[in-house]
Every structure is written in structure tokens, then in C-alpha cells.
A and B are shown apart, each in its own frame.
Chain A
């Protein structure tokens, strides 16, 4: 299984500053958790636009972090705002699992840096 995050782009942009990196990881996790909550609250067909919007936001931050597999899952969710509730639940479950992998990865990077 491939690594959940590739930090190459992020480190080029931040100049490799580990303190800034940790701040960015914390911001990513806070925003991602908010997106997950919003997605879980918008399975219903009448909330399709909310689902699409939060999947889009989650996709953008995931790709910018370098979490491509998570970004791809969010992209899939963004493209399926009108799917059946059961399908959305399955997709969100996959997103939550992948987000768990990303969180573990970021924790390990943080522990290695301190």
C-alpha cells in the first residue's frame, strides 16, 4: 500500500521549516474534521449541494497537503452528490479510513521531528 501523503511539494513551499509544517498539519486536521462532520450531515438528497461543496473543499486541502489518495476519494464524492444515501455512506467510510491513515502519517512525521 502506498504512503498516504507525499510531503515533497509542501516542503518545497515551506522551505522545509518543521514548525510551520506542524502548524499546517494542525490546520489540515481541523478543517478535515469539519468537512467530515459536514459530509456526514448531508447524505440526504436535499443536501446534495452541501455534500458537493464540502467534498470539494476537502479535496482541495488534501491535494495541497500531498494526500493524493484522500484527495481522489473526495473528488469521487464531489462528483456524486446525487448518489443514493447508502452509496454515500460507503464512500464517506472510505474517506474516514483514508483520513485515519493520513492522521497517523502526520503524527509519525511530527514525532520524528520532535
Chain B
């Protein structure tokens, strides 16, 4: 029998929120005890997802998901230091996912990734208190700019630029 998939974005999300916050509070301390960074990539296109993974595998640990609902258990279970979220996801928008993550984890460092650079997307990102915004194509400079911002805020144990 096929297992029913959990939806984190149903109409009763407000009721579920305390439970999700409680779940996350049990894992958030991972950020303080782990060495280096842990990154979550949420991108439905396998090529673009793999490209980002290739970059991060060389410097830290990585979780990768293709949908918002696939990403949530990874976020709750592993408390990533940084989440890179594509805006156009097949189940929910990246903005919805970012909003939920920020509700659960106000200290979350979230970077939106998109091939569209519309005023509407920028406004939504701003209203969700997003920490970074990358317009495709990915480049080392764009990614490093986000990592540098994270480092300046949190002082994470990160490799020097010269090692990449």
C-alpha cells in the first residue's frame, strides 16, 4: 500500500505550526555543535540541483530536495545553516516554503533562487525577510556572496575562498 505523503501546506497549517516548531526545536542545536556548514538545496530541475550540489559537496554537507514537501522534513530534521530555495517548485512556491521556514525558525538564513527577476518576486522575498536572492545563472561569485553574508552574521566555520 502506498504511504500517504505529508503535506506541510494544507489549510490547517496554522494548527500544525506549534507541532512543527516543537519538532524543529529538538534539532536546532545541531547548528551549534556541527563543524562547518550544512546546506539545503530545493530545486526541481535535476541539472540545476546537481550543479549546486557539486559546488557545496566540496565545502560542506548538503541535503537536496525537488519539492517543498520533500524539503520540509529535511529542514526539520537537519537544521541547515542555509537554505537555497527555487521559487518555481512543482507543489508549492518557494515563497510559501520560505514563509513556513521563517515561521518555524526565525533565525533561518534563506536564499531565493530564480530564473525570473520580477518586481513581484522581489517584493514577496522582502516581505518574507529573505536573506539573499540569486538570479540564474548560478556563479561562484553569487554563491560566495551569500556565504559571505551568512559568515558575517553568524561567523560560521567556513573554508577560505582560496580553497574553493
Which residues of A come within 8 Å of B, CB atoms? 9-10, 12-15, 17, 20, 23-24, 27-28, 31, 53, 56-57, 59-61, 63-66, 71
Contact A64 B46, CB 8 Å, known A15-B58, A56-B115: no
Could you tell me how many residues of chain B have their Cβ less than 8 Å away from some Cβ of chain A? 21
Residues of A within 8 A of B55 (CB): 13-14
> Chain A contact residues: over half helix, strand or loop, or mixed?
helix
Identify which of B52, B54, B116 contacts A56 (C-beta below 8 A). B116
Q: How far is the CA of A111 from the CA of B82 in the complex (A)?
A: 38
Q: How far is the CA of A57 from the CA of B50 in the complex (A)?
A: 15
Contact A60 B115, CB 8 Å, known A13-B51, A15-B58: yes
Residues of B within 8 A of A9 (CB): 137-140
Most buried by B among A14, A15, A53, A60: A60
Identify which of B44, B115, B116, B140 contacts A13 (C-beta below 8 A). B140
Q: How far is the CA of A56 from the CA of B46 in the complex (A)?
A: 14
Residues of A within 8 A of B164 (CB): 15
Quick check: A20 and B54 within 8 Å, CB to CB? yes
Can you pick out 21 interface pairs between chain A and chain B where the beta carbons lie within 8 Å of each other? A9-B137, A9-B138, A13-B51, A13-B143, A14-B51, A24-B47, A27-B50, A28-B47, A56-B115, A59-B115, A60-B48, A60-B88, A61-B48, A63-B115, A63-B136, A63-B137, A64-B47, A64-B48, A65-B47, A65-B137, A71-B137
